[in-house]
Copies of this chain bind each other. A is one copy, B any other.
Amino acid sequence: MQIQNFSTQDFSLWDRFYRAHFFNSLSGFKSLTLVGTLNLQGQPNLALFSNIVHLGADPALVGFINRPLAAASHTLSNLEATGSFTCNLVPAGLEEKAHQTSAKYASDQDEFDAVGLQHQWEEGIQAPFVKESFVKYALEWVETIPIRHNGTFLVIGQVVKVLVPQNLVGKDGFINLTKAATMTSLGIDGYSLPGPLSRYAYAKPDRPVEILRL
């Protein structure tokens, strides 16, 4: 296997599309998530994000990286205006529609309608869920942290509602997303379905690795 070795001076010679594909895929598989919002006029918006992080369980905080404002969808302005957004995991079969939400639709065009996904409304949540998604959660906007080096943002929300199929949640709270055929994302435009899941017991220095039965 021939290993290539790239350094900063190589990166600077690449065109911007090559560089974007390379570095978006380099950091590995990500969470394929459709983010639903409303603007103050009640217009729904749906946009695809993959740079999602778990920040903490108590309070339950999730963050995502939003592009610089000039390139951004309406997601950020909407969730800051209403204080609410939903995250909808994408199951196998829905990845084409999810991908299509990334097209630059006119601001008065609802991406749900454009790509053929249904809105799901839940009491007290001022943002639409994706009905076709199996695992989804609503968040209250907590904070937007600017990342000064490149104009991106870390957007933080607190989870206030979770909708999840009962058979996915284990006795210890673990959600086995493979049972819902949840997809993962690679780079700007790659999608893959993770195979069977392995879990290991809490690691200790003086004990060999132990597989957990699922």
Asked if A173 and B20 sit within 8 Å, CB to CB, the answer is yes
Chain B residues, CB < 8 A from A170? 21
What is the CA–CA distance of A11 and B114 in the complex, to the nearest angstrom? 35
Given contacts A7-B161, A29-B31, A56-B150, contact A22 B174 (CB under 8 A): yes
Copies of this polypeptide in the complex: 2
Q: Which of B20, B30, B59, B65 contacts A31 (CB 8 A)?
A: B30
Q: Are B27 and A30 in contact (CB under 8 A)?
A: no
The stretch among A37-45, A76-84, A198-206 that forms the contact with chain B is A198-206
Of the A-B pairs whose beta carbons lie under 8 Å apart in the complex, a sample of 20, sorted by A's number, is A1-B167, A4-B166, A5-B163, A7-B161, A18-B172, A20-B173, A21-B175, A26-B62, A26-B159, A27-B87, A52-B53, A59-B149, A63-B147, A99-B203, A101-B203, A105-B205, A143-B149, A177-B186, A187-B199, A189-B200
For the complex with contacts A22-B175, A51-B53, 6 further pairs of A-B residues with Cβ separation under 8 Å are A3-B165, A5-B161, A14-B173, A142-B149, A143-B149, A189-B200
